[in-house]
A and B are shown apart, each in its own frame.
Chain A
Amino acid sequence: MSARELHAILPLLILSGGILFLLLQVSFLRSHKAAAATAVITLIAAIAACFDVARTLSQSAAPIEVTGLLLIDQQALFFCLLFLLAALAIAVLGFSYLQKRCDSARESIPEAFYLLLLLVMLGAMALVFSNHFASVFLSMELMSLALYPMLGFAVTGDLSPRLEQMYSLESGVKYLLLSALSTALGLFGMALIYAACGALDFGGVAAAVANLPRTPSLLLSGLTLLLITLAFKLSLVPFHIWTPDVYQGAPSPVTALIATVGKGAVVALLLRLFTELELFSIPALTGLLAAASVASMLVGNLLALMQKNIKRLLAYSSIAHIGYLLVAFLIGNSAFGNEAVLYYLVAYVITTLGAFGAVGLIADSALARTAGSAGEYVYTTTSPFQRDFYRGLLWRSPWLAGCLAAMLLSLAGIPLTIGFIGKFYIFAAGIQGQLRLLLAAVVIGSAIGLFYYLRLLLTMVLREPQAPLDSIESVRIAVSGRLLLISLTGVLLIFGVFPQILIDWIYTL
């Protein structure tokens, strides 16, 4: 491994170093704040490393292959940057979450959260860089294995409400079981691919596919099984069924993590897989994806329609959003489709982070210590995730409601938000690729989506007619949480009003 290659994987090295350092740090110094600081510093250093590597790449202009397992190119670095920024936001959200629930005097271990977060990031970034089925499997498993305990993390925060702990545990177990099943199928698929092509690196498989006169069914079956694994991670219909339960039960920051980084990394892999292996030319695979996309848009939106739990609602809506994203993906190996996927993914990550972030912060603020038997926290209201809790939010906390409203409008694709530009891209890409059926599904799905987004918006504006303005207690949220939501809203509006900044950037990749 040359110095050049070592430099190219600098972000990964920094993350690994950070993980080791954090492990050692925790053995000497048990401090929530210190652990959070280490995690944040590691993430920022990794971001800086990403920029540094990108600069080197732009000078040499050729992607750098590292040991045949990883391939570092501009696009992958862009994804990494996006995920690292998302991870930063999740660290902030996690801090607020843990601060409320962990008591240093008791046996809670909030430091583990940051360790796991960094591990997930390492897995996600390695997945984005993967150029070999072995590294795909390894990094995907790394990501999943770190996610299981994170999903059930409420159990370790010993002050969480009892119900929250149960849901969290359920979420972790469900994801573990189903993920194991999907990984098994994916692994079997890779075996079939190896049997058909005799190679496991993307280049080798691509060469074998090109040399074969027609695609053998062995290879096709292998690819389909792999696709099923990826569809599971993306929660595409019909593999979506775990999504609401897992999203609802998990701590809100982890929900945001799995919805943004977890899905985004898989989209990045899918993009690289289809481009490198030239799978766009195989109609069976694109047909499967198109079917899954249409089904996701319709089923996701329909399931969200009357949903009363906000986290479940956002879970369903994320199913639909990945469906939209696939439309751009499906127009094939064109620069425009690529651009549309990247733009939509950025929009999706920002709005999902903002939405789950706002929901999580609101729930944190509703926690209050009681003199309960075990001394645990309970929610002041019955459940802060029900829609009724959001009734009149605008009057309790105008800026918070404003941020959440911006997120919802962006999810619905209303102009002046990044979501509108993203959806516009999807339409433009769909029309360019003549994907009429898919576009029809986008239109129907968006129309249904508008209903439940706007209904939530309306709920926030409603005011109890009797309650005078000043008697309503306001929502208290830490400054870091406020700053995060406001900056996310700012980015959402800036890219919504001046999309050219981001478009130009993506265009140079």
Chain B
Amino acid sequence: MQDFFAPFLAWIPLLPLLGFVLLIALPLFHLREPPEAVSAVVGVGSVCLSALLTLLIMWTLFLNNPSAVLQVSLWQWLKVGALQLGFDFYLDWLGMAMLLVVTGVGFLIHLYSAGYMHGDDGYRRYFAYLNLFVGAMLILVMADNLLLLYLGWEGVGLCSYLLIGFWYRNSANGDAARKAFIVTRIGDTAMLLGLILLFSQFGTLSIRALNTAAASAPANNLTVTLAALLLLGGAVGKSAQLPLQTWLPDAMAGPTPVSALIHAATMVTAGVYLIARMHPLFNASETAMSAVGIVGALTLLLAGFSAMVQSDIKRVLAYSTISQIGYMFLALGVGAWTGAIFHLMTHAFFKALLFLSAGSVILSLHHEQSLFSMGGLRRKLPFTFGCFAIGCASLAALPFTAGFYSKDQILLKAWEYQGGFNGIWFTGILGALITGFYSFRLLFLVFFGNDGPASAQCKDANNGVMTLPLSVLAVLALFGGLLTPPLQRVFTQAPAGHAPLWVEGVAIAAPILGLALAWLLFRHNTSPMESRGKSALEKLWFSGWGFDWLYHRLLVQPLTSLARINRNDILNSIYNGTAFICRQLHNLLSTSQNGLIRWYIASFTCGAIIFLALLVVL
């Protein structure tokens, strides 16, 4: 059975990649842009097939077998001395969970895009990039060695860049794309250093071999700690965690389905996957573990505060994504591996739902994104309202939604972390309260109250291919909590114990309290935090704690001023000088080619004399 399915495994990433190649190569055979239907069928179809294949493998091999493993070696990739790397895929339940999210949610978002992008000039280009992204993400998830994982890692980074700047005619989008690329590149560099360190220390880049080696290494080994921290650097960059979180809010410049797929459901959770995949390595170092937990806790709070005051519908969601991934990091830090991956899954459901319904709102309002121009939309967009409400409830982790189950697991594990009340747990609870506040503030501002300026022109833009994914995602966001992946064999962790009842109560109460606060503020002042002047704290939160300002002052400005000093590149003069010398020599030598036969004979004779003279010298 396993042998039978192993070859199919390779087709899961290959299909979207083939779709990409086909879409990119279409103009070679046909000079005009293909009709939208062709692009859509190729783009959506490839991911759909990939999702079906994943489901088939899940159904036949993984469903009743928590320790199922599938692996396939495609070919030898690199062979340099001790560095022997193959194009090898490895799939266990952790990978399977990711695979289901990437292909399943990816397919739904592709389907939604087919409607959302209708009429765009770059329709084919859009689906080409999106397919390339899915292919790269699948390679990342299924890679059996860290370099192959890195290939996927860079591939998704590239696609993220291409899609954030998809509407490149607006220079602000280009800036946002470059910012995302450069900031994540800082993390990627750290990760590459980590890879090199691991290879030099353990002589392999195979994930399983490294994990075994790290587990048997002496506790708190310096190299292991350093390597884990460097990998954390990569994860922090990709997952927009402190201190590299600044790119994600700007990344909302891309089309909204892109934000849903790349910047909410899949790519940004790659950091979480990386740490979960390398969990024995992180487990071997207490420092690294606490670093992960602290990064997560801090990010979840800071981003949560920022989300409370944003005025752009997508930026609220962006900050909430940062904050929710902060939860996952927190979970990883306290060893709640299963909880982190579970939350990753449910987050993918409800955040994709939120983004897609936000996309519907934006499209219905003719690309209006400001919250204060909206209001009262529940009457005009009842279906979108329903989806959005379900998404918000799940995001806020109201009881019996998908988000509730996953977040509850994390909070319980955090409580256990130090055997009772601790800072990490408290941050989590506080974060839950904030989450409740900002998610319902968003819901109220958009769908309740009086009509905003833009609401008047509202025209429901949902069509068949958009409502179907929204409905499926809404169901998943509500009942996704039942789909716990059986990860107990992947992570050998003790099952959660029993916390006091009041702890559970607090966890349930916090988001509801947040909801109530948001309602109170909304009632008290129909448009909170807009009409009255902003306080200094609100301004600070609005700007994302001034990180952009800080980085601009600390890094960008010194660099640009240095560049300005070296405007006439000093090193370049070497090359210009070389070119100048070559040109001069050319001119000098060219004068010898004057076409006069007497001169030619003279030069021949001189040459002969030189040869004979050299003979004497040599």
Give A residues with C-beta under 8 Å from B: 173-174, 177-178, 181-182, 185, 220-221, 224-225, 227-228, 231-232, 238-239, 241-242, 244-245, 283-284, 287-288, 291, 299, 302-303, 305-306, 448
Q: Which of A225, A241, A288 has the most CB of B within 10 A?
A: A241
Check if B582 sits within 8 Å of A241, measured CB to CB: no
How many Å lie between the Cα of A448 and that of B601 in the bound state?
28
- What is the CA–CA distance of A225 and B611 in the complex, to the nearest angstrom? 9
Q: Which residues of A contact B607 (CB under 8 A)?
A: 228, 238-239
Contacts of B618 in A (CB 8 A): 283-284, 287-288
Distance between A18 CB and nearest chain B CB, rounded to angstroms: 35
A287 to B607, CA, bound (A): 15
- The interface residues of chain A lying within 8 Å CB-to-CB of B212 are none
Q: Smallest CB–CB gap between B424 and chain A, Å?
A: 56
Question: With the chains together, A121 CA to B595 CA distance in Å?
Answer: 29
Chain A residues in 8 Å Cβ range of B589:
299, 302-303
- Are B586's CB and A306's CB within 8 A? yes
Q: Contacts A288-B614, A288-B615: A241 and B583 contacting too (C-beta < 8 A)?
A: no
Hey, what's the 0/1 contact readout for B596-618 against A, CB within 8 Å counting as 1? 01001101111110111011001
Which of the residues B585, B604, B611 comes within 8 Å of A241, measured between beta carbons?
B604
Q: Is the interface of B mostly helix, strand, loop or mixed?
A: helix
What are 7 A-B interface contacts by the 8 Å CB criterion? A220-B615, A224-B615, A239-B607, A241-B593, A241-B603, A305-B582, A306-B587
Are A305 and B615 closer than 8 Å at their CB atoms?
Answer: no
Q: Is B457 among interface residues, defined by CB-CB distance under 8 A?
A: no
A85–B605 Cα distance when bound, in Å, is: 36
| Minimum-distance CB pairs A-B, first 7 | A238-B607, A284-B618, A305-B586, A287-B618, A302-B585, A302-B586, A241-B600
Is B601 within 8 A of A177, CB to CB?
yes
Q: Which of B586, B592, B600 is within 8 Å of A178, CB to CB?
A: B600
> Min CB distance, A351 to chain B, in Å?
23
Are B611 and A227 within 8 A (Cβ)?
yes
The answer to whether the Cβ of B568 comes within 8 Å of any Cβ in the partner chain is no
Asked if B600 and A242 sit within 8 Å, CB to CB, the answer is yes
Over the window 28-39 of chain B, the binary record of Cβ atoms lying under 8 Å from chain A Cβ atoms (1 yes, 0 no) is 000000000000
Given A220-B615, A448-B582, list of 13 further CB < 8 A pairs?
A: A178-B604, A185-B608, A221-B612, A224-B611, A228-B607, A231-B611, A232-B604, A238-B604, A238-B606, A302-B585, A303-B593, A306-B583, A306-B586
How far apart are the CA atoms of A448 and B618 in the complex, in Å? 30
- Docked pose: A181 CA to B597 CA in angstroms: 12
- The answer to whether the Cβ of B590 comes within 8 Å of any Cβ in the partner chain is yes
Task: Classify chain B's interface size.
Answer: 20 to 34
Q: Which residues of A contact B605 (CB under 8 A)?
A: 181
CA A302 – CA B607 in complex, angstroms? 19
Q: Which residue of A lies closest to B579 (CB)?
A: A451
Instruction: Using CB atoms, name the residue of chain B closest to A298.
Output: B585
Q: Give A440 Cβ to nearest chain B Cβ, in Å.
A: 15
The CB with the most chain A CB atoms within 10 A, among B601, B603, B606, B615, is that of B615
Query: Given the complex, which residues of B lie within 8 Å of A288, measured CB to CB?
Result: 611, 614-615, 618
- Nearest CB in chain B: distance from A124 CB, A: 23
Question: Which residues on the B side are within 8 Å of A299 (C-beta)?
Answer: 589
Please determine whether B597 and A177 come into contact, CB atoms closer than 8 angstroms.
yes
Is there contact, CB below 8 Å, between A178 and B601? Answer: yes
Provide the bound-state CA to CA distance between A245 and B593, in Å. 8
User: Shortest distance in angstroms between B405's beta carbon and chain A's nearest beta carbon?
Assistant: 57
Chain A residues positioned under 8 Å from B601 (CB to CB) = 177-178, 181
Chain B residues with CB below 8 A from A220, complex form: 615
Tell me which residues across on chain A come within 8 A of B595, comparing CB atoms. Answer: 245
Alpha-carbon separation in the docked complex, A231 to B604 (Å): 11
Residues A287 and B593 in contact in the complex (CB < 8 Å), given A232-B604, A302-B582, A305-B586: no
Chain B residues with CB below 8 A from A174, complex form: 597, 600
A225 to chain B, nearest CB (A): 8
In the complex, chain B residues whose CB is within 8 Å of the CB of A228: 607-608, 611
Please name all residues of chain B whose beta carbon is closer than 8 Å to the beta carbon of A239 when the two chains form the complex: 604, 607
Chain A residues, CB < 8 A from B587: 306
Complex Cα spacing A54 to B615, Å: 39
Q: Mark B96-111, 1 if CB is under 8 A from A, else 0.
A: 0000000000000000
